Amino acid sequence: MASSKRRPFRRRTPSPAVEQAVGRAMRVDDAIREFREQRALRRGRVPSVVPYTGYGSTSWVRVLGRVLITKQLPTETPQESFRGWRSFTGIPVDGAPVRVTVGDVVHHVVADRGGVIDVRVEVELEPGWHRITLQAEAEGRRSPEVRAPVFVLDPSSPFGVVSDIDDTVMVTALPRPLLAAWNTFVLNEHARTPTPGMAVLYDRIRDAHPAAPFLYLSTGAWNVAPTLGRFLGRNLYPPGPLLLTDWGPTPDRVFRSGRAHKIDELERLAEEFPDVKWLLIGDDGQHDEDTYSGFAQRHPENVAAICIRQLSTSEAVLAGGRSRKDQRERATDADWTYAPDGAAFATALEQNGIL
């Protein structure tokens, strides 16, 4: 059974050989990106900010976005120039200064080496939805101002939802090795199929908990954020921040770990909102069960329940099989539910009082 005490999460220290390989990969990655960036700026191209949905509390917000350079057609807005495959050919601007305006207060922040803006700024905002303004600068050229939504959690709301995306809210029906390529080259969100009953389930959860945040946690790259956002909106899922990752080497890995990304984001949420209990929703075709089970063991007070969508036989084959649920359930005190669709989840959540 799970202990009532927090169990610290320990990440394995990379070996010297891995550190050497990672350093070499990062140097190559940086050199290629710098060459592309400088060439694009010499040609007169202007960086643009791709805004992502952020979140926060009444005293701070997490600002999310990305600074990229891409070719813009005369008939396009800056945001339209990042649709489809061009979102992957856009050139990230390393260390771009970014001006963040929240109300009448201006914050000056810096994008990371991949052009990603992921910073926490101090603010004073009421709970609910707000709009902030982002503007980047590179080589003296300023990007057009863009507006990004942010959701401020109500301090009195002790409940929130963290949901996986692939095979949880949308059916991918592709082998896992091809999933990244599919996300890259399928240009239209109409080609993606919503999971039966999940949008209705999420809408019912929102009706039962109007102040609850919905966060969509995925191993996908930031490049697909606009497409995923349009998919969620078109299929009437509740709006909320996308917590994605950036491709490429990291300080401790040659190839970025999707599972480590999910673990890190969940740990961050537990630290940022220690009084919130999260309904964790995923599927049995990836590592969601292990990830959620580990989080529930380390932070039992932050888990309201765990819902795992059972893939169909064909989906499980494409996903590489499914794991054994009994091992995860025995390891935690959390309330686990396994179901194939949103309607079955709704019945279970009614029984445990969440709906």
CATH number at residue 338: 3.40.50.1000
Q: What is the mean pLDDT of residues 23-38?
A: 64
Residues 167 and 218 in one domain: yes
Domain ends where: 119, 152, 185? 152
Taking residue 314's Cβ as centre, other Cβ atoms within 10 Å add up to 9
Residue 325: the pLDDT is 55
Asked if the model's pLDDT at residue 83 lies above 60, the reply is: no
Is 70 domain-assigned? yes
Residues 342 and 272 in one domain: yes
Taking residue 139's Cβ as centre, other Cβ atoms within 10 Å add up to 12
Residues 211 and 340 in one domain: yes
Is 36 domain-assigned? no
237: Cβ contacts below 8 Å, ≥ 6 apart: 169, 198, 199, 202, 214
Residues 53 and 184 in one domain: no
Residue 203: the pLDDT is 97
Domain ends where: 152, 181, 216? 152
Which one of 46-50, 191-195, 209-213 scores highest in mean pLDDT? Answer: 209-213
Helices 288-298 & 258-272 angle (0-180, nearest 10): 30
Whether the Cβ atoms of residue 333 and residue 303 lie closer than 8 Å to each other: no
Residues 241 and 339 in one domain: yes
Query: Mean pLDDT over all residues of the chain?
Result: 81
Segments forming the whole domain that contains residue 342: 159-351
Residues 264 and 281 in one domain: yes
Domain ends where: 152, 174, 201? 152
Res. 80 pLDDT band, cuts 50 70 90: low
pTM, whole model, 2 decimals? 0.83
Residues 215 and 321 in one domain: yes
| Residue 58 DSSP class | S
* Greater model confidence, 45 or 54: 54
Residue 333: the pLDDT is 86
Res. 239 pLDDT band, cuts 50 70 90: very high
Which one of 30-34, 173-177, 260-264, 330-334 scores highest in mean pLDDT? Answer: 260-264
Q: What is the mean pLDDT of residues 298-321?
A: 79
Q: What is the mean pLDDT of residues 116-143?
A: 91
Asked if the model's pLDDT at residue 313 lies above 90, the reply is: no
Asked if the model's pLDDT at residue 339 lies above 50, the reply is: yes
Residues 171 and 135 in one domain: no
Is 37 domain-assigned? no
Residue 16: the pLDDT is 64
Q: What is the mean pLDDT of residues 30-46?
A: 67
Is 83 domain-assigned? yes
CATH number at residue 73: 2.60.40.10
pLDDT digits (tens, 9 = 90+) for 136-193: 987 677 888 999 999 999 998 899 999 999 889 988 755 555 555 555 555 455 557 8
Residue 232: the pLDDT is 94
Residues 98 and 129 in one domain: yes
Is 325 domain-assigned? yes
Whether the Cβ atoms of residue 293 and residue 328 lie closer than 8 Å to each other: yes
pLDDT digits (tens, 9 = 90+) for 275-302: 999 999 999 886 899 999 999 999 999 9
Residues 308 and 256 in one domain: yes
Q: What is the mean pLDDT of residues 308-337?
A: 68
Residue 5: the pLDDT is 43
Residues 167 and 138 in one domain: no
Number of domains, the chain: 2
What are all long-range contacts of 207-211, with beta carbons under 8 Å and residues at least 24 apart?
208/354, 208/355, 209/157, 209/159, 211/127, 211/153, 211/154, 211/156, 211/157
Residues 142 and 214 in one domain: no
Q: Which of 153-157, 193-197, 226-230 has the lowest mean pLDDT?
A: 226-230
Helices 198-208 & 342-351 angle (0-180, nearest 10): 30
